[in-house]
Structure 1
């Protein structure tokens, strides 16, 4: 039986962990994009997601 900290039981904590995993995968897709326009668009989306997370 695993012992959890109180904050680990919160849904928002689990969502934050999932989000962090998603951001890593999302940023990895940027490196596969060839054009500067695509790269700029993905970076802007990543910036927006980071700002949403911080809000």
Structure 2
């Protein structure tokens, strides 16, 4: 899934809905950096977490 994530895309963390909708900052290999409104900048290993794209806000 990380190959499909591009900077600027909106995503949710499936196990952390309290973080809100985040914006992808970068996606390099299996590391995705996302800025979440309620937890700040988080680096996520996409082999461990399948971020959910958000198409409607």
Q: Report TM bin, short chain.
A: under 0.3
Is the strand fraction higher in 1 or 2?
A: 2
Report the TM-score when normalising by structure 1.
0.20
| Structure number with larger C-alpha Rg | 1
TM-score, normalising length: structure 2: 0.20
